[in-house]
Structure 1
């Protein structure tokens, strides 16, 4: 890195460090809408302050400028070790191999939590670690730009990173007050830099860099009112630019970028939350999902995810942010369940084998879960349990199941006056095929209550008229769970659990019963092994299942089993239950897949038993490409502004608006960008003389073109009215030859730097702020 051309005292560097920290701390506040609470911001401020002020201390000790960023990275590592290293470190700050292993686990967890959480995200340790690393690296970049390279104007690029991130996650983007404060902090940094440069000017040969360095304070060159006006003008431009960026940055909250709450991201390689499982019809063989030990011969269904939103083509889960207060050590009673309904608790120990999903298989409802690793939270409506930073891989936990035992009388006597918050569970698209309403009316015609209607729908679907088949939906093209699929299923009467569950849910809504669909596993099959007298039950990928749940006031959500040959029918839903008839449902006991090829025709193929964390090969590319594109665009802003400036001068040439002056300004700017001179106080003749001595102007054409431009600008600036306009075509040709000669005289790295970091542009910015750039800057 090149040394700082203007030596600064310790106090001056401390002033720049303080304003740099202020800029970064305020810019980080833009992440507020994405993360719950404020503790994460204090951590980021601590990391930024430690990194930046460590750099100030290193410079006060006269550490070589090239070593300061490296040592700042070391300080960042020590700070991360202090906060996240725990017992793996030596003396709390010295990392060990175990510390780096811990960091690796936190980074993996951060990747998962970014994918799995919706906003506002819960600041779990992996997410905090990612924020600390990101802010620390931004602090190092800001320090390099402000202190080492002395181009504080470019500090806007790293400061804009946290400001732009919300625009990729939520529609509203960053909040307006944060944008204003960030712009004000940025202008303060530029203003402090101007004052520091003025006081540090004329330090002799620049040999001192401490408080004892001799300084000569020059008189003010520009009145304070003028510089204040320039600052306010730049503030207006900055705020306008920030507002445009915030308004135009596309939100990708429905894509895979940075923690989309979309279901595909939430499930990774576990179980798909969509009912349309046609693309996953066949699996060569069953894979173990998990096994469990339950006393009292307890054999519940295990719910993963509840689907409650029906949009006509597919069932989906309502997007909802995770509530950090909903920890699984204490779960509430389910919605709608009154104290009059009998309940009992049953402990179940679950050991996950190969299923990998961010949703935890638990019986519905459960009262508490113990022994989980990672951060797990229950959903306020469905009580489904999900993680924001890990998955089910390798988990072993104890879940206390709350068994609800309603009587038929309680279900039949449930009130028809439903709370308004259940309205979404009754919604159906308006363009329903007629067969749905007709079928619902026919099979519930004699039902005297909502409960009787539900039992009638279940009995109808489990009757001999319907067949369990995984081939028919695919062969006849009606696989899935949408309206058209339900209508076709009612005609063909052949399908698998997806079709039976979605059909019963739709028919229930049609007759005014709130409904939703659960995805999960049936009870599994007992194994020979026993532990402390408790039999082991195996659950594999062939036990994946979907079933409807219907709501009855006073009882809550009640599961039904309309799929013939699968699962077991609850006692309360059997025809004639509660009337002493003893009538049995068609399939009372759990069914076992037969030898008819179900392993090859399984509807849920590939949704469990796959190892890994659920990342596709190109997931990082999908998430990183937009961010990288934004960074590249930010870095190209100076080049774009410089290109616009050149285009404006060419327009002046074409219009005849002081064309010689415009052409000469472009020559000066090109020379400044390429480091070929062009001081603000040089006369055209003196500057032309200095250029003529360069090798590229040894040829006749470039030298002549330079003379044409010099003479034209002298006549236009200093001579009397020429009476006839200057030939614009001649000036354009001369300008092109001079620029070509200047470019030919520069090395490729210098040309690249001139495009990406045009010095003339930054000189103009300094002059606007009241500072006169040195001639050799």
Structure 2
């Protein structure tokens, strides 16, 4: 009887533990799913997700309490996902809840529509039913995985890797836009999973009872400390996912008098277009070109770009001097007449490289370095004539290997550019050989739709005091000033002199004249290239036809294959541009491709997606471990002793051997040689590695640097000895223990 009572108590405790673990699983998945708030414009996705996750975990708890085996529990949960999908998202379910051909087809159609939105949409997107269905399906499958790992297999720590996958999709779509509280919520959910998962009921008074309680307390304290540290770091230091301070202040910009444009670009706010006013009428312009009013060379991380260093220049009457430090590029010499209408400003807009200007009156000055004509006296605007060079250099000149020209160092000033912004610029241009190719790559970052940037008259709400980082990594929407400001910063980050040009697009063609209005106000970028001088780039992804790309830039951003249209020829709406022919020869039969909701051929991809998710989840620890190993091997070859030592410790950890933080590196090495039975080559290499590590940590820097070249070879020999004498089992390779602990050094 006593035994039976103890057995019943144990069973009841186990049942309660299983229920608590199921609740912890549901909480962990739902809290981690808050990362999706970064890609949705509303929260309507959460209710179906809540129903799906709660139902799956409830089924797991009930079936376990009934004594079902783990494979049957998982199969039942998968069937429940199918039932819930047709119940929540189809109006044609049999008896309202059972899947049938019509309901399955409807749900598959919705998933197809969701796939199209994922492919073409730019976050944040409305959480429409198709996306709700896709997310509910994904969270349901994730819940099954986490439930199996954390409850059935008793490995809640490994389940954390599956939870981490929930951040992969929104992070890839929103690109570093994830809010700090989404990570804090996920950390809290994972901590709860660890706490509950560490509770294993044991008979009272048994020798294991005290140790079990101690383990519970240790896990709880560690999890609570981690969650508290995350919350404290995020809430009180204000550090978000990008390392910036959330809670920024708006920066205002001062407008000039009359209908002139602003003297500097603001990285936030709205472009004021209360009414459209005609500003100029241009005669004699045979092709589209930008009309430049001013250039801005000083970057202020809080205000954007503004004027600085404008000189008295020279009188603007007669022939004008060439730009400072710049040769005259190849191009077309033109002459136009510009009639100001509603324009009142101290800046005289000009085209290209001005050769001479006349008719505007007296007291106008020209600054060759800035490429600006201005006046210091208020005077009426008069029609004026400009003769100028419209640059169109050939590719050979643009990619010239001439020495870098002398240019004012102010155009290379990187003050205020944060490390993450500079790193982005370097990553984008790392494979480009010339400065022109680097500039084109940075321009393409903004104009390629795949990168998620879009033109809007309202910028995204600020999340930090750094407007450029806000725009590049989180907001990704704004108007021309944001795009020009960001690209100019990126150019300077890779050593290319840059400035922001402010003026107007080509305006509207009226036959013999062009009319430019306030709607044509624009900002673009000018980069100083060897052998060419100041060269125009435009990163703003306008879709209304107002972009006036120079021919050399249009050729790079919009490459075509034969047959090519003549210069200036446009492709009629509805026709495919050259180079984008249909890839599927069956499309020529006239049979339209099936739409997103068509059932034919679309029913396989959800199963494939689930399979890919399962394989990715299974291989995530192995992939992460391999990436870490390669990074450390590369770092050790470059002289990082700490990276080499961390890799040795993880190799030992993967094989089940731990080390204490109180041990010296030499003591740890001796024990590793013994525990893993390293051969003489491996033992000798490990001792040499320890010597290098000690010199790096405690010795003179010069002595440490003398051994840097040997670190890569020493680490390679140690790893080879590990593999020869103590190879990993398939389970140790698939689930390496070292990925479940932070990397570090010991000694």
Greater C-alpha Rg:
1
Asked if these proteins are the same fold (TM beyond 0.5), I'd say no
TM-score, normalised via structure 2 length:
0.40
TM-score, normalised via structure 1 length:
0.39
